[in-house]
Structure formats: C-alpha cells, structure tokens
Structure 1
Amino acid sequence: MMNTFLALSDHDLEGELNKPNALRLYPPRGVSDAYDIEILWAPFDFVNRDARIVIVGVTPGPNQARRSYKAVRMAVAKGEDPQADLERIKAEASFRGDVIEPNLKSILEHGGLAEGAGIEDIDNLWTKEASKVHFTSTIRYPTFINGELFNNQIDSLEHPELRKYVETCLAAELASVPADAAIVALGQKGPRIVRHAAKAAGINPRRVVALPHPSGSATGAVRDFLSKNRTRSIRPCRCMLCDRTRIPKGWDLSNRFQMHDLTHGKGRARDAR
C-alpha cells in the first residue's frame, strides 16, 4: 500500500479520506458491507516490541491519518525510506490534537501509568519518551461507518471483518509487547474489546486498565476521572487538576476544583488559578 499511497496526489489523498478507494482495505472492490463499513490504509503498522505501556483507542481518525501521510511525504522529501521510519511516523500521528493531547497526558499521569511505564516527562510522550509507548487501536487502520468515523456505533465483535482485526492484528500486537507492559483501553466500550483481544492472545485480561477516552467528545469523563479519583502517581502528579499551571489556555475547569480538592485533601493542587 505504501507505493500506492506515494503515487497519489494531495488532492487524490484528500479524496481517499472522504471516500476510500485506492487505499481501501475493506470491503474489496465490487463488494458492499451491510453496515457500510470502510477501512482505509494508513502507515500504522509499526509495533513497538519494547513498549512499557500500550495505549489502545478505537480507530485512528482522519486527522491522525493526515498526520501520518504528511510524515511519510516529509521522509521521502528528505530522501529517507519511510518504511524504515514507521516508528517515528506512527508516534507523530497517534492521538494527536489540541484537546486529545492534554487529556491523554493528564489521565496517564493521574492514573499513575506514565510513572509506572518509566515516562519521566509526559510532555515528551510523542518524542523522547515514545520508545516506551505503543500506540494502537482496536481497529488498526482508519475505519468509517456510513461515511462517519467509526466509534463503536455497532459492536465490532459482532462484525466479521472488525472482529478479525481485533482477534488478529490487535491480539498479535498485545502478544508482542513485554509481559509486564501496562495495557490501557480507552473509552466506555474499548475495555471489553481489548480484553477479548487479550484472551485471544493468551494474555490475562486483568492486565487491561480502563481509562476514559481523551477525545473532545469525552472531555467530561476525563474531568470526572481527574476530579473524583485520587491520583495513583507517587511522584507529584502533572495532570491538569493536580497541577493547575498545566490547564490549557482558554479551558475553564474551575467547577472541578472543589471536588478534586475534597478528593485529594486540602492543598493537593499546585498553583491553583
């Protein structure tokens, strides 16, 4: 698929994001899907076999796909082999965005998972610390349903093709990382699916840790998690409610301060705004 992608113009590539064709992995040409499921190839094949933590979302979105395509084109423009740089390309594209990044950093910090994985600086999650992380999804490649991003609108384990991705791609990825690596499943429906993949891989499903999804549509769940649960971080927690200097500009979390401080005890939060 890499060669097919490289032959596409930017205009054609944008068309692929709207209606997969040349880069479509499923369904095959001339075949329709009962739920109008479409799976689009993007360079998310790399598996970090040395990861200390695995972060599992639902599926990469269009913005993540664009980032990955851009990273490949930049590598080619520099005369580099993109196949040899899939680790960096995947890290640069996974779970990125103005909302998802601060939310993800906060839940990993607050849950003690960043510290447990040996991530010293959560701000370097996608750069210097990326070697400790394996970013993935229940469905490895960008997936759409009725033209919209797939977000578990149907049970993926009840759909033959989606189930195949869970039981083959995801299970193989989970089996490839060290046995003591944390496995984080994001969202309400994600943990059940990831535990199913773990069982398929012969892994104890109790290794799977459930956290709220850091996307913008689930920001309320993220803030509930940060305010209603005590931090599991032994070091000073760098989530945006424990360290309020880290609240992104323009975000108002003041309605969470009281609950957070009651949960953690007076004086827990630093530099309250």
Structure 2
Amino acid sequence: MILSSKFESYTEAMRALPAHTSLTKAQLLTEEFLIERCGPADMYYAPHNEYMNRSAQVVIIGLTPGWTQMKAAFEEARRGLELGLTQEAISKAAKEEASFAGTMRHNLTGMLNTLGLHHYLGIPSCGELFLGHRNLLHTTSLLRYPVFIGEKNYTGSNPDLLTTAFLRERALAFLAEELSLLDRPLIIPLGKKVEGVMHLARKEGILDPARCLWGFPHPSGANGHRLKQFNANLEEMRRRLREIGGAG
C-alpha cells in the first residue's frame, strides 16, 4: 500500500530529471524536492519509503535514508515513470532497489545470517529478504524521508534526534503510522539512535517492546564499531529471537 499522496506532488519534477544518467546531489538536493527545513536540517522527498508491505513478518528500521538510498530510489522512480507504471508499482520497485542499498545491505545480511534470522523465517539465507522472499520484509526509517545537514547524511547527532522537537516529532509520527498498520512483526531497530526513539515510543504506548530485537548495530560502513557491538549483543539477541519465535 501507499502511505501518502506526496508522490503525486513530485511526479512532474521527477519526470523532468535527466534520463539515462547517474543523478547528482545538485539535481536532487534542491528546493524543488525540499519537504521541510528546520535549522540546519533539510528533509527532502524520496519515493521509496512511500511503499508499505503490511504483511511483513520482519520490520527493519533505520534512521533516515542516506544519499545512496535516495539516489537509487529516484533513479528507479524515473525509470518507472518512463515505462508508465503505476504509483504503487514505482514506489515498490524503488523500495526494493533502494533499501539499504550499497555496502549496507551486504553488512546487514551478513549479520542477520550470523544471528540466524533465516532459520526463524524458514528461508535459506537473509539475502533472500531482498530477493525472492521480499514479501517477508518491510524496511523503513524513523525519518521516512532523507534528512541532510548541509549535503551530508544526518547521523542522529548535531542536532540530536531526541532533543530536537522537529526531528523527534516527525520520527514518532512516522513510526506510529507504520506500526499501526502491521500485524505484530519482529522489529529490528538499527543502532542506538533509532533505539532511543523506539524506547520513547514504548513509553508513549506506540510500540510493543516484546516484539523488538534490541542491540543490533547500524550496518553502515561508517560505523567502525558495528561488529564489536554486534558480537557483544549476539547471544542476547539470539535469546530474544527464540523467545519471540516461541511466542508466535
């Protein structure tokens, strides 16, 4: 399903993007695609997190789409518009192309396999979540649309996500909307910044903490401590996964 009508607002701007070439920040980080600005934080449109897989058994939640994901989503959407596909088909294809695109997807699937999530789901490998078993997965971000500080990916700091009203309120609103549409999936928040908002959501009654796998690091290559964090929390995450699986 589609979560908003924003796609229609940006369709003509997406059609006007140059075809058959790699898109640049100069073409996408523009006033034309700007949704909101608050202090140093700029939130831009991207089409991939418009799509919602309501039947997902696993939901992986990142912080906000980075440039790699934004670029991949726009290039896929541009292709879909050229082919005359529907909004839902375009947004779904953009989601499949952009979700944790780049080295993050490799890092993420490696850690999920080590965790044993594929056994929990009954599939050969967690890489299949991005291929033939995509129906089991919903990926999203606390901040549904890409946020940049200047032209740099927002990392949850400077300004701090939890203490900046604009960002905190958007994150909680997006999270509440998506969780209300899902049927008790396993939820994997990526990294401490995301977990901080998830704990706030728990206090506000938005989130069932019993369905969450706490302690999973963000898979970005920029997170040099991810393997240390993952290994430190591995046995506890495996225990939680067994508990959640047993609870159905």
Alignment TM-score > 0.5, same fold: yes
* SS of 1:139 mapped into structure 2: coil
Question: Which residue pairs with 1:8 in the alignment?
Answer: 16
Q: CA 1:37–1:94 in structure 2 vs 1: closer, same or farther (change >3 Å)?
A: same
Query: 1:30 — aligned with what?
Result: none
Please report how far the alpha carbon of residue 199 of structure 1 lies from its aligned counterpart in structure 2 after TM superposition. Answer: 4.5
User: Which runs of 5 or more structure 2 residues have no equivalent in the other structure?
Assistant: 1-8, 240-248
Q: Who is 2:35 aligned against?
A: 25
Q: Which amino acid aligns with 1:140?
A: R
Offset of residue 16 of structure 1: 4.3
Match of 2:217 among 202, 205, 212: 212
Query: Residues 113-262 of structure 1 correspond to what in structure 2 (within 5 A)?
Result: 113-153=117-157, 154-179=159-184, 181-200=185-204, 202-210=206-214, 211-222=216-227, 225-226=230-231, 229-230=234-235, 232=238
SS in 1 for 2:131: coil
Q: Does 1:105 align with 2:109?
A: yes
Greater mean alpha carbon deviation, residues 215-224 or residues 36-45: 215-224
Could you say if the C-alpha distance between residues 206 and 200 of structure 1 is closer, same or farther in structure 2, counting changes exceeding 3 Å?
Answer: same
Verify the 8 A CA contact 1:49 1:177 in the aligned structure 2. yes
CA contact 2:15–2:78 (8 Å) conserved in 1: no
Contact 1:191 1:208 (C-alpha < 8 Å) held by counterparts: no
Q: Is the 8 A contact 2:113 2:125 kept in 1?
A: no
Deviation at 1:223, TM superposition (A): 5.2
Q: In 2, distance between residues paired with 1:69 and 1:39?
A: 15
> Superposition pairs for residues 41-60 of structure 1, below 5 Å?
41-43=45-47, 44-60=49-65
Larger Rg: 1
What's the C-alpha RMSD, in Å, of the aligned pairs? 2.5
Higher helix share: 2
Structure 1 position 112, deviation (Å):
2.9
Percent identity, please.
27
For normalisation by structure 2, the TM-score amounts to 0.80
Cα 1:118–1:201 shift into 2, 3 Å:
farther
Deviation at 1:22, TM superposition (A): 0.5
Deviation digits for residues 106-164 of structure 1, max 9, x if unmatched? 22122233432444332222221111111111101110123321101132232222122
- The alpha-carbon distance between structure 1 residues 115 and 86, as it changes in their structure 2 partners (threshold 3 A), is farther
Gapped regions of structure 1 (runs ≥ 5): 28-32, 234-273
What is the identity, as a one-letter code, of the residue corresponding to 2:17?
Answer: S
Please report the TM-score for the alignment, with normalisation by the length of structure 1. 0.73
